[in-house]
Structure formats: structure tokens, C-alpha cells
Amino acid sequence: MRENQFIFYAPVKVRYNETDLQGHVNFIHYYAYFDVGLIEYMEEIRYGYETMLAEGADFLYAESHCEYKSSAKWPEVLRIYTRVAQMGRHSLRFEFEVRAESDERLIAVGHIAAVTADKDTFEMRPIPERMRQTVEQYEGA
């Protein structure tokens, strides 16, 4: 995978109800932004959630982390930069950078580790080969 480069981003407009009494986005919403970035990334590479389910696989989020660098406020537009940084036999690590669209200031960074599982039993299974190839092609591995 490419180092320190993001090819894809999803724009997200901060909604008023995502802010707290201090007037900035409450920390819990960044995990929802990461999820939006991940799902939109999968759509962008033409291996969306429906495709994954049709191939008998699903994602289980095994780990997540977020570091807050600066605040975002309503009604800013954020860019949720997303990439697959690592792929193992059964898992992928998605990395994120959240930046303000207006000035590109870094707002948050983080990751989600997802394990591929059988969609019916939720038992761990290898990453579908088509998914692996699609990610590698998109990321330029």
C-alpha cells in the first residue's frame, strides 16, 4: 500500500446536532465520520457492501482509534480521507484523516481494523479475493 497518501475522500457537512455546548463537533461523531469514509471508499472502488454480502462476507469492526488535533464547527464541510493501509489474511486496517475543506487543517486522525467474517455465522474467514484485488489495484500495491 502507498505510504502517507490518500487517494480518496468523502465530504461530510457538520450538522448542528453534532456539536456540543462548546460549539464544536462532539468526539463521538468522528467514529460515524470514519464509518462514512469507509463505506464511501468501498463504493468508490466498486466493491460496496452489497457486493461483499453477495460473496458471503461481512465486516466486523475489531478495533478503532481516534486522535483529535483541532476542532470542527457547524456548518463546516469536512473531508474524510480514507485508505486501506494494511491487509492481512482476514483483516484490513482502514486509516483516516479528517480535514476542513476550507483550509485543509487537520482535525482528526484514526483507524478502524475490520475482520472479514461469514455473513451468516460471523465466523472469521479470509478476505474475499475479489476484494483484495480491488483494494490492491486502487491503492497501487
CATH code, 112: 3.10.129.10
Q: Indicate whether 1 pLDDT > 90.
A: no
The alpha helices in the chain, defined as continuous H runs, are: 29-44, 49-54, 129-139
Residue-level pLDDT at 97: 98
Residues with Cβ within 8 Å of 95's Cβ and at least 6 positions away in sequence, in order, are 82, 83, 84, 85, 109, 110, 111
Q: Is the pLDDT of residue 96 over 70?
A: yes
Residue 3 forms part of a structural domain: no
Tell me the percentage of the chain whose pLDDT exceeds 70: 96
Q: pTM for this structure?
A: 0.93
Asked if residue 1 belongs to a domain, the reply is no
Q: What's the order of all strands across the beta sheet hosting 77-87?
A: 8-13, 77-87, 91-100, 106-118, 57-68
108-135 confidence digits (pLDDT tens): 999 999 999 999 999 999 999 999 999 9
Find the domain containing 82 and state its range: 8-139
One-letter amino acid for residue 4 of the chain: N
What is the arithmetic mean of pLDDT over 38-63? 96
Asked if residue 75 is part of any domain, the answer here is: yes
- Select from 2, 1, 8 the least CA-distant residue to 99: 8
Q: Name the domain count of the chain.
A: 1
Q: Is residue 2 part of a domain?
A: no
